[in-house]
Amino acid sequence: MKIRTFFLIIGLGLLIPISAFGETISRVKLGAFDYVPFYTEEKEGDIQGIAADVAGELFRQMDMETETALYPLKRLLQNLERGNTDAVMILIRTPERETFLHFTVPIITVRGLIWSAADRKGGAVEFEKLEDLKPYRIGATLGYSYGADFDAVLKTMPYVDTASSDILNYKKLAADRIDIFPGNEIVAKGIFKNHPEFKGKFVHSRKSFIEWPLHMGISRKSGLAARLPEINRILSELRDNGFIENAVKKYTE
């Protein structure tokens, strides 16, 4: 069934977004997933993090109430596709996801860097091309993609040691069980902030192996999609006025 969004005109030109089923969007159902420091669930179900701070300011300016629920990523994407969740604040844009989501302007761009132990002889591991990393013992997190190019090279590396989380990989790096680990810069710094024992233990390559623009994703079945131009304007302002940069610093420094 084709979904359309309509507008109800009230008074002096006030536009209120309405879903295809005639439901006014006054309270936004936001989805989150386990992605520290963008999202983290605190005691009593309170969800905090970079994305939560940005969402709070965005919808404050839009004068809209929100409720946020934490899901496994796969289930969250299903909810967005079905229209059970209106939006997710931080997500990588892919062609598959574009079939059921509208994506906003980029909110932030994160770098994938090669991390090594700070006390490694010779300092940080540098590289010109990904194949330069083959001689090293590399760690990887199960279920993660490091981009198509890196994933392809990873399959050809002679020594790959996997773990269930980034934290475990950094522990192995500190214990000299692996030489290098490909990690998201902001995620890494968020982990280091929450684990003081990691302070000063790691260095990273100057060059990134990939850069990920992160966007807000809005369900194509949500009436919130009608306010996409306004959302893009506010997010651009939050990026330009330093709000997003300060939110990153709050959870990583």
State mean pLDDT over 216-233. Answer: 97
Nearest residue to 111 via CA among 248, 250, 253: 248
Task: For the chain, give the percent of residues with pLDDT over 90.
Answer: 79
Does residue 169 contact residue 181 with C-beta atoms inside 8 Å? yes
C-beta separation of 87 from 224 below 8 A: yes
pLDDT attached to residue 100: 97
Please, which pLDDT band fits residue 2 given cuts at 50, 70 and 90?
Answer: very low
- The mean predicted confidence, pLDDT, of the chain is 89
pLDDT tens-digit map of 28-46: 999 998 888 999 877 677 8
How far is Cα 156 from Cα 179, in angstroms, rounded to an integer?
Answer: 17
Q: Which residue has the higher pLDDT, 229 or 72?
A: 229
Mean pLDDT over residues 164-181, rounded?
A: 96
pLDDT band at residue 24 under the 50/70/90 scheme: low
Using alpha carbons, list the distances in angstroms from residue 10 to 26, 27, 28, 193, 198. Answer: 15, 19, 21, 49, 56
Token pair for 156: 């050809």
Please tell me the least confidently modeled range out of 34-38, 115-119, 158-162, 177-181.
Answer: 34-38
Q: Among candidates 219, 27, 242, which has minimal Cα distance to 104?
A: 219
CA dist 157 and 36 (Å) reads 28
Strands 202-219 and 101-103 turn out to be antiparallel
**pLDDT 10s digits, 177-208:** 999 999 999 999 999 999 999 999 999 999 99
